[in-house]
Amino acid sequence: MVEVQDDVKYFSVTVTTPPPPEGQARIDNIVAPTQVQQGEPFNVTYDCHNDGGADELYGFIFDTDAQAEMPGTRWVETIDGGAVKNVLHSFLNGINTDIHAEIRAGHME
């Protein structure tokens, strides 16, 4: 027997590079005083890990009583995947009332 080719169809497959993974912010190692004297300067520090790919991450302190971002606490920075940003917020003029707050972080799209 001999093969007789009756039909041929062409196809192609394009190979592309997958997009890099998005950044994934993770907050860790929060250090803040539990009590300060009225008007006394204090610091809040934390680490923001990027558990995803290199990306522009952000973070800020959110006052849960006022339901607002605390002025001067926002940062935005490109952080490599697997890297850590050490964040320091200095409240040089202290505060006059109790605060209840969250640290919020994420990535930009």
Would you state the pLDDT for residue 91?
93
Domains (ranges, CATH) in the chain?
25-107 (2.60.40.10)
**Model pLDDT for residues 4-34, shown as the tens digit of each residue:** 888 888 888 888 877 778 899 999 999 999 9
pTM summary value: 0.81
CA atoms within 13 A on the CB side of 47: 8
| Confidence band of 82 (pLDDT split at 50, 70, 90) | very high
**In angstroms, rounded to a whole number, what is the distance separating the alpha carbons of residues 48 and 103?**
10
Would you state the pLDDT for residue 8?
87
Would you state the pLDDT for residue 54?
93
**In angstroms, rounded to a whole number, what is the distance separating the alpha carbons of residues 102 and 73?**
11
Q: Check the CA dihedral 18-20-22-26 and report its sign.
A: positive
Would you state the pLDDT for residue 72?
94
